Structure 1
Amino acid sequence: MDVDEAAAAVRAERRVLTVSLLAAAVLGVGAVVWGLVADAGALIFDGVYTLAGIALSAASLLASRAAASAPSRRFPFGKQAAVPIAVVIQGAALGGTLLYAVITAVQTIIAGGSAASQTALLAYGVLAGVYSVLVALILRSPARDSDLARAEVVSWRAGTVLSLVIAVGGAAGLLLERTALGGLSVFMDPVLVLIAVAITAAMPLQLIRSGMHELLEGAPPPEILARIEAAVEEARAAFGLPVPLIRSTKLGRRLYVEVDFVVAHDRWDVDAEDRVRHAIVDRLEELPFDLWAAVELTTDESLAT
């Protein structure tokens, strides 16, 4: 990825985060106000869940700016780690919100249920679900090359699920009120919260797992690893080189690749080594990342371990 492409990617990422922040503010405030008026814990939870995303989107914006800053004497490798750190924080915060929702729902059930209007639950669920789907669709395309933006899309998808669960629960509550079991409808609101938490619990775990994988310098995604191996294999075949040791990891927008060949004595000079480097690095420059690659030829096997 060249400088212009990298700058364009950063600008697109920040637009996604800004749109997500503004959209979350509108939906979150509306949900909390509606929930307080209708005395509906499910709506208040959905609003708090969405408003929590505002702080997380702001943190993601800061992480994006930090990651885009140039390496310095104090941070010679830059601040790309800010991206997975922000993703982990977002996952942890969403997980904490879900835990709070479970505790509140259980307390409501123990207290005898909620007087929430089933009509309010249904209406809000439909409107908020449509709104969340539209926002996720708007963000999806520019989020393909950004971990931070993908985290925002995951959050909006989780919000969509929550809203649809509320809508279905509201419809079920309205039907229940017309039966002999109508008295149980007071438990629909807290039960909806528990169902929504169960459905969305995997999403924050996914964010935490992906962020920690990068922070612990795990291997890049399989499709990226395959591109790296293909580039190395092509160069190996062209220059008659032995099978090398390949190490790679992705940290935010940066891709680190290290390739070590153990070669015979008196057959290679610096110019030939540079040709091997270009054969590999030029291919990897096509990837949508800030590439930091080290391709080494050595006659000492102990230096390639």
Structure 2
Amino acid sequence: MATSESRALAVSLVATAVLGGGAVVWGVAAGARVILFDGVYMLAGIVLIAVSMMAARAAGSSPSAQYPFGRHAATPLAVALQGAALLGTLLYGAADAVVVIFAGGSDAAAGSVLAYGVVSAVASLAVLVVLRPAARVSSLANAEAVSWRAGMLLSAVIAIGGAAALLVSAGPWAAAADYVDPVLVLIACALIAPMAISLVRDGVRELLEAAPPADIRDRIDLAVAEGVAASGVVGAERTLPPAIVRATKLGQRLYVEVDFVVDRGVWSVDDEDAIRHGITERLEGLDLLIWATVELTTDPGLAAAE
């Protein structure tokens, strides 16, 4: 998984540098703010990809005396930073577009805007297809995929706007064509903002040790039920009370705590070990690094059931 994640980040880095640099040159040559905005948006992502690479390296490092639980928090931190930087770029683009509108618009070449939108959308889709397998199992690769999906959407809006400007410029509303460029930037910012907010929200939730997504919680509950049944120590004479389950996901590590409040003198350490093995073996199918704690206790206070 680490190799797949690193490869995905490297692909994203190279594609961002090539397409972003090309967009800046194209935007300056065509005098189109929306193309220039797209290029700046992509080039700003180079720094974020570098941060993601460092986060991946930190998260993949082994626990040490200084970091006994590892450094998996680097992953959601990088995701949140990427979302925050994307929001900052959108605010800059929107503010610039408003200034241009009040200044009387821009005379960007509509044909050039249309051509760029088509080329950029196709290129973004190609990168997104390459990233998709790694994005299914890596938060960092998924953040990159979200950025490329946003870029593809932005490019599609640019292409549609370029086509609209060509149509408008040929009719009685020719003066309105000067406003297509900044209006496109505002539309693109509005469309991309939810994706950026989602990145920030997901990263912050993990840093605050929120519960994992619903599909993971369901699989944890299933693993607990199946693990208890497969342990071989529960039967008609001895039954366990409902499990107290707490979990949180931090990057690629999933922390799971399962507590059972039992009666005194009924269960042994061997029983606890059997139940622990039954549960942890089934948690391994989650494609995450599992840090599981399974305990049987007679003291409800120790189970931290709140």
TM-score normalised by length of structure 2:
0.95
Asked whether the equivalents of residues 145 and 288 of structure 1 are also in contact (C-alpha less than 8 Å), the reply is yes
SS at match of 1:285: helix
Asked whether the equivalents of residues 247 and 259 of structure 1 are also in contact (C-alpha less than 8 Å), the reply is yes
What are the ranges of 5 or more consecutive residues in structure 1 without an aligned counterpart? 1-8
1:234 Cα deviation (Å)? Answer: 2.4
Q: Deviations over 1:256-288 (max 9, x none)?
A: 000111111111221111001001011101210
- Name the counterpart of 2:129: 137
Identity among equivalent pairs (%): 56
- Name the counterpart of 1:224: 216
CA distance in 1, matches of 2:273, 2:191: 53
Asked whether the equivalents of residues 21 and 54 of structure 1 are also in contact (C-alpha less than 8 Å), the reply is yes
Q: Deviations over 1:212-231 (max 9, x none)?
A: 11111111111111111012
Asked whether the equivalents of residues 236 and 242 of structure 1 are also in contact (C-alpha less than 8 Å), the reply is no
- Name the counterpart of 1:102: 94
CA distance in 2, matches of 1:38, 1:204: 28
What are the ranges of 5 or more consecutive residues in structure 2 without an aligned counterpart? none
Q: Deviations over 1:61-95 (max 9, x none)?
A: 00000000111111111100000000000000000
CA distance in 1, matches of 2:154, 2:190: 10
- Name the counterpart of 1:3: none
- Name the counterpart of 1:4: none
1:235 Cα deviation (Å)? Answer: 3.5
Confirm whether residue 159 of structure 1 aligns to residue 151 of structure 2.
Answer: yes
- Name the counterpart of 1:279: 278
Paired residues, number: 297
- Name the counterpart of 2:15: 23
- Name the counterpart of 2:41: 49
Confirm whether residue 204 of structure 1 aligns to residue 196 of structure 2.
Answer: yes
CA distance in 2, matches of 1:96, 1:208: 12
Asked whether the equivalents of residues 263 and 298 of structure 1 are also in contact (C-alpha less than 8 Å), the reply is yes
CA distance in 1, matches of 2:266, 2:193: 58
CA distance in 2, matches of 1:127, 1:167: 9
Deviation beyond 3 Å, 4+ runs, structure 1: 235-238
- Name the counterpart of 1:175: 167
- For 1:176, the aligned partner's letter is V
- Name the counterpart of 1:194: 186
SS at match of 2:294: strand
CA distance in 1, matches of 2:227, 2:146: 38
Q: Where does 1:103-118 land on structure 2 (aligned, <5 Å)?
A: 103-118=95-110
User: Which residue, out of 70, 83, 106, partners 2:75?
Assistant: 83
Q: Deviations over 1:38-71 (max 9, x none)?
A: 1110000000111111111111000000000111
SS at match of 1:295: strand
- Name the counterpart of 1:12: 4
SS at match of 1:201: helix
Confirm whether residue 64 of structure 1 aligns to residue 56 of structure 2.
Answer: yes
CA distance in 2, matches of 1:229, 1:184: 58
CA distance in 1, matches of 2:228, 2:135: 35
Asked whether the equivalents of residues 228 and 279 of structure 2 are also in contact (C-alpha less than 8 Å), the reply is no
Asked whether the equivalents of residues 265 and 299 of structure 1 are also in contact (C-alpha less than 8 Å), the reply is yes
1:177 Cα deviation (Å)? Answer: 0.7
- Name the counterpart of 1:300: 299
Confirm whether residue 289 of structure 1 aligns to residue 288 of structure 2.
Answer: yes
TM-score normalised by length of structure 1:
0.96
- For 1:146, the aligned partner's letter is S
Asked whether the equivalents of residues 177 and 185 of structure 1 are also in contact (C-alpha less than 8 Å), the reply is yes
SS at match of 2:286: coil
Asked whether the equivalents of residues 173 and 185 of structure 1 are also in contact (C-alpha less than 8 Å), the reply is yes
Asked whether the equivalents of residues 236 and 243 of structure 1 are also in contact (C-alpha less than 8 Å), the reply is no
